[in-house]
């Protein structure tokens, strides 16, 4: 089977286009990666070039040794992925030590995987272990309203989580663990990768101040839906703030409401981070 005949590659391209359509990606902003199951790789193996040279990842991810990933390319535009995925994306193979990678498909007009590849792989390694292998997608995007909030809210997990949760009931339902926050840091480097790893151990969404969000999930729908839900709540917050002109907000979902939601028959077993209910 050809790579682009596979369900995973079509889903990858669709998610990239969904992000573009929602204006989450200006120019070449953002990146996406998918840890490909062994059976999906076997189905497209005939379309892969497994003879190329391995290159340093820039970090060590032994927990991902031998794994394959589909990733967007460095400097590539999400607006072009659906029309020409083989030019703007690639499949990489990680070596047996988790120290190097090689491109085995894609980037037909040249280039390399996203400059955030070390960050993606380090976080994939953490989420793979924490989820028992369930987590497969890492998505970084630049949603306008989340970035706007990072310019005005205190950059703490608690402040950001409550600001988002209190606008819309779906928020604690979709991401009951809350969101983590990383202050502004130079992107693409090891420092921001390590800071994100620490946060993603506890959360599936990490806000990068004045930059965007970094999300993890089991599949394309779950991960994109998570990013979309966070951004929608941020948009509500921005609109309410503009209507109240800085006055105290009159109606929000309260601590008592969160507890009622958690204890309701309809959402029995729902996890809502108790640290944010104190």
CB burial of residue 215 (10 Å; 0-12, 13-18, 19+): buried
The one-character DSSP state at 64 is: G
| Cα–Cα distance measured from residue 226 to residue 241, given in angstroms and rounded to the nearest whole number | 23
| Cα–Cα distance measured from residue 22 to residue 42, given in angstroms and rounded to the nearest whole number | 33
Q: Output phi, psi for 180, to 5 deg.
A: -95, 160
H helix intervals, the chain: 7-21, 38-44, 85-88, 117-130, 144-150, 157-165, 170-174, 190-200, 220-244, 255-263
Nearest to 136 by CA among 90, 70, 229: 70
Of 40, 67, 93, 116, catalytic:
116
Q: What is the CA radius of gyration of the chain?
A: 19
* Active-site annotation holds for 116: yes
Angle at 197 between CA 124 and CA 187, to 5 degrees: 95
Distances (CA, A) of 216 to 8, 27, 88, 198, 242: 16, 23, 21, 14, 31
Q: Output phi, psi for 69, to 5 deg.
A: -135, 140
Residue positions annotated with a catalytic role: 116
């Amino acid at each position: 089977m050809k790579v682009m005949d596979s369900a995973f590659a079509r889903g990858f391209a669709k998610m990239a286009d969904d992000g573009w359509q929602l204006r989450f990606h200006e120019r070449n902003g953002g990146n996406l990666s998918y840890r490909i199951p062994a059976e999906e790789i076997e189905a497209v193996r005939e379309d892969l070039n497994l003879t190329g040279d391995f290159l340093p990842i820039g970090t060590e991810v032994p927990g991902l040794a031998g794994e394959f990933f589909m990733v967007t390319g460095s400097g590539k535009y999400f607006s072009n992925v659906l029309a020409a995925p083989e030019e703007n994306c690639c499949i990489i193979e990680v070596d047996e030590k988790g120290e190097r990678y090689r491109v085995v498909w894609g980037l037909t007009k040249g280039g390399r995987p996203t400059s955030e590849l070390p960050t993606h792989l380090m976080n994939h390694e953490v989420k793979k272990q924490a989820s028992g292998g369930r987590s497969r997608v890492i998505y970084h995007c630049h949603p306008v309203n989340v970035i706007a909030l990072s310019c005005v809210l205190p950059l703490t997990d608690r402040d950001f989580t409550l600001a988002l949760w209190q606008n819309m009931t779906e928020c604690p339902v979709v991401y009951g663990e809350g969101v983590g926050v990383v202050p502004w840091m130079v992107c693409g480097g090891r420092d921001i990768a390590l800071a994100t790893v620490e946060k993603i151990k506890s959360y599936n969404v990490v806000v990068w101040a004045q930059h965007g969000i970094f999300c993890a999930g089991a599949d394309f729908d779950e991960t994109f839906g998570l990013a979309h839900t966070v951004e929608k709540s941020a948009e509500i917050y921005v609109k309410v703030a503009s209507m109240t002109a800085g006055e105290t907000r009159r109606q929000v979902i309260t601590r008592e409401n969160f507890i009622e939601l958690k204890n309701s028959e309809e959402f029995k077993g729902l996890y809502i981070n108790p640290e944010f209910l104190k």
